[in-house]
Amino acid sequence: MIRSGGIFYHLRALRFRKALWESHRQGVAAFLKAWNPQARSIILIGTSAGYSIPAGWLGRFEKVIAWDPDPVARVLFERIHGIKPDWVRRKFPFSSADPMRELPRDGSAILFCNVLGQIEIPSTRRLQKSLELHLEGREWASYHDALSGDGIDFDLEDARPEKASVPAMKNWVYVRNPGLQTVEVNAHHAPDLFGGGSGWGYRYWQWRITPEQTHLIEGVFRE
């Protein structure tokens, strides 16, 4: 699994951002358009350099708070987006007993930027409870890794704007090289945080992150 952040991730972005990542950026743009938060400020968690956030989208907010410990990512983010957020220069405490307690109670919209699928989640239920307790009544969304693997793509013709189960997601996998006997598909923990039901919006798209590796991205927001 390829994690966001760090010098090797930025080098990979330099190499593949224009050649391979455009469909991912389009997927994020469509997802954010569907979410359409009305708050005047936003908190970004796990921004990295903001490669996938549409150009100009952040201009709708009067204030941007961004949570990322990577100094290279912060410099690149400001160059790419032309804004200087209020930076929180430490890792978000996902492993704490009640991580969402750390968020300011200021009414800002909250966007988890491709981070929930890449962290270790010691207890899915504990994180669910923290999200429910502290984000109730707030505008928030997350896009995150659901599945990933080498030599595969995802046929999303049957994807719908509703919660897909992991077995359904696996049915979207097809192997690019028919000569391969087996492929390994990795399931990420983030989709387990969201069970579907009323009041939620879902979107799915793929991210060919390198010529070999492809990720299925799940986008979730409160309607």
CA dist list (Å): 51 to 25, 130, 155: 8, 28, 24
**Position 12 in a domain:** yes
Query: Of 69, 124, 74, nearest to 99 (Cα)?
Result: 124
**Position 134 in a domain:** yes
**Position 142 in a domain:** yes
**Position 83 in a domain:** yes
**Position 55 in a domain:** yes
Parallel, antiparallel or unpaired: strands 152-154 and 173-175? antiparallel
**Position 84 in a domain:** yes
**Span of 16-20, 47-51, 126-130, 157-161 with lowest mean pLDDT:** 16-20
Asked whether 170 and 185 are in contact (CB, 8 A), the reply is yes
CA dist list (Å): 216 to 85, 93, 220: 29, 25, 13
Residue range 68-116, pLDDT digits in tens: 999 999 999 999 999 999 999 998 999 899 999 999 999 999 999 999 9
**Span of 6-15, 49-58, 73-82, 197-206 with lowest mean pLDDT:** 6-15
Residue range 133-176, pLDDT digits in tens: 999 999 999 999 999 999 999 999 989 999 999 999 999 999 98
Q: Which residues have CB under 8 Å from 11's CB, separation 6+?
A: none
pLDDT-derived band at 13, boundaries 50, 70, 90: confident
**Span of 31-45, 50-64, 120-134, 142-156 with lowest mean pLDDT:** 120-134
Domain count, the chain: 1
Mapped onto helix, strand or coil, the DSSP state of residue 130 is helix
**Position 2 in a domain:** no
Taking the C-alpha atoms of residue 192 and residue 128, their distance in angstroms, rounded to an integer, is 9
Phi, psi of 205 (to 5 degrees): -155, 170
Over residues 31-49, the mean pLDDT reads 95
Six token digits for residue 113:
């930027």
Q: What is the average pLDDT score of the chain?
A: 91
Listed in sequence order, the DSSP H helices in the chain are: 7-16, 22-35, 71-81, 124-135, 166-171
- What residue numbers bound the domain in which 116 lies? 7-222
**Position 1 in a domain:** no
Asked whether 71 and 92 are in contact (CB, 8 A), the reply is no
CATH number, domain of 140, equals 3.40.50
Taking the C-alpha atoms of residue 78 and residue 85, their distance in angstroms, rounded to an integer, is 8
The predicted structure's pLDDT at residue 25: 94
